[in-house]
């Protein structure tokens, strides 16, 4: 790289080089703390440009731009810009294995024609790692570049493919391990977003993994024979339909709610004036009459069933 010079952030934002985008941004509280350090101490590490774009230092540049302060600038003059970006970020950022796996997955999913990666820019990185030259890194090549396992890269690819952006960002920011995110990424998008918002990713992943294991074990159990029409009819006679069962449940709920009420005179005295117009005496009497009639009918029904049971026993 050539000499360092200082410049003020321009009015129009500068573009990032595509290689800079393989690593995640510093965001949220971490970026605010980073910006405060730059406010106090300035931009101490030069921002590296290549082909007129920022190759390394997007976060430093953004902080300087927001603060309106100058920054040191230098030009990259080597022949391995991709290797340079990977090297400086791994040394500087102390990324977790999951974060590195996400970077490697992004690197290994590049294709010919993608402006981010092409054959002309990649060989030096591949040769330096004693790897064969290809149009895009294989999982094995990317694994060596980022010092992660191929299995982690495959898991990261799955998260990037089926995970919602919020979940992908959570892994990139080090909030959750890629293995846990892969379990959550199997859920529908609304569920994924809810779990990210609730910040319960680790616990949710453990619960989902346990449920998956239990489901697999259940699949190994012998399957019951399908019910005959006669058996289905008998089940309906005994258990009723869902709507039939709901009737009894509603009656039980009404009785429980009434039994929870205070004494009659106490209840009357406690109803505030503003609510009195909502209580209809005719409706109360009609409901009371229905419950009384239901009690009589139910008592007669049970007595009749008991009588038939005795006759059958004799």
pLDDT digits (tens, 9 = 90+) for 236-266: 888 888 888 888 888 888 888 898 889 989 8
Task: Name the pLDDT band for 223 (thresholds 50, 70, 90).
Answer: low
* Rounded Cα–Cα distance for residues 175 and 199 (Å): 9
Beta strands in 157-298 (DSSP E): none
pLDDT by residue (tens digit) across 63-94? 998 998 889 999 998 888 888 998 888 888 78
Q: Is 188 exposed, middle or buried (0-12, 13-18, 19+ CB in 10 A)?
A: exposed
Per-residue pLDDT at 156 exceeds 90: yes
Per-residue pLDDT at 129 exceeds 50: no
> HSE of 202 in the Cβ direction (CA atoms, 13 Å)?
4
* Rounded Cα–Cα distance for residues 61 and 47 (Å): 7
In the chain, pLDDT over 70 holds for what percent of residues? Answer: 85
Per-residue pLDDT at 126 exceeds 60: no
Q: Among 68, 77, 69, 79, which Cα is nearest to 4's?
A: 77
């Amino acid at each position: 790289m050539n000499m360092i010079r200082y410049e003020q952030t321009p009015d129009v934002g500068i573009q990032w080089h595509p290689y800079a985008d393989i690593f995640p941004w510093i965001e949220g509280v971490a970026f605010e703390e980073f910006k405060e350090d730059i406010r106090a101490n300035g931009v101490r590490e030069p921002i590296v440009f290549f082909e007129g774009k920022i190759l390394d230092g997007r976060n430093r540049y953004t902080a300087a731009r927001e603060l309106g302060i100058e920054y040191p600038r230098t030009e990259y003059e080597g022949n391995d810009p991709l290797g340079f970006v990977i090297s400086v970020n791994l040394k500087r950022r102390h990324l977790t294995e999951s974060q590195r796996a996400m970077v490697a997955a992004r690197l290994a999913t590049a294709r010919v024609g993608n402006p981010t990666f092409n054959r002309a820019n990649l060989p030096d990185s591949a040769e330096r790692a004693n790897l064969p030259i290809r149009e895009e890194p294989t999982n094995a090549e990317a694994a060596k570049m980022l010092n992660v396992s191929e299995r982690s890269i495959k898991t990261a690819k799955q998260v990037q493919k089926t995970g919602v952006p919020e979940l992908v960002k959570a892994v990139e920011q080090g909030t959750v391990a890629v293995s846990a995110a892969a379990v959550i990424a199997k859920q529908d998008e609304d569920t994924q977003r809810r779990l990210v918002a609730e910040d319960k990713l680790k616990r949710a992943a453990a619960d989902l993994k346990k449920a998956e294991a239990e489901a697999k074990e259940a699949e190994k159990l012998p399957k019951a024979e399908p019910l005959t029409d006669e058996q289905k009819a008998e089940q309906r006679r005994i258990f009723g339909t869902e709507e039939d069962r709901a009737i009894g449940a509603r009656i039980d709920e009404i009785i429980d709610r009434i039994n929870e009420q205070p004494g009659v005179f106490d209840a009357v005295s406690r109803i505030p004036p503003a609510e009195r117009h909502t209580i209809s005496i005719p409706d109360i009497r009609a409901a009371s009459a229905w419950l009384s009639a239901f009690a009589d009918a139910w008592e007669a029904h049970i007595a009749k069933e008991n009588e038939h049971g005795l006759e059958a026993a004799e």
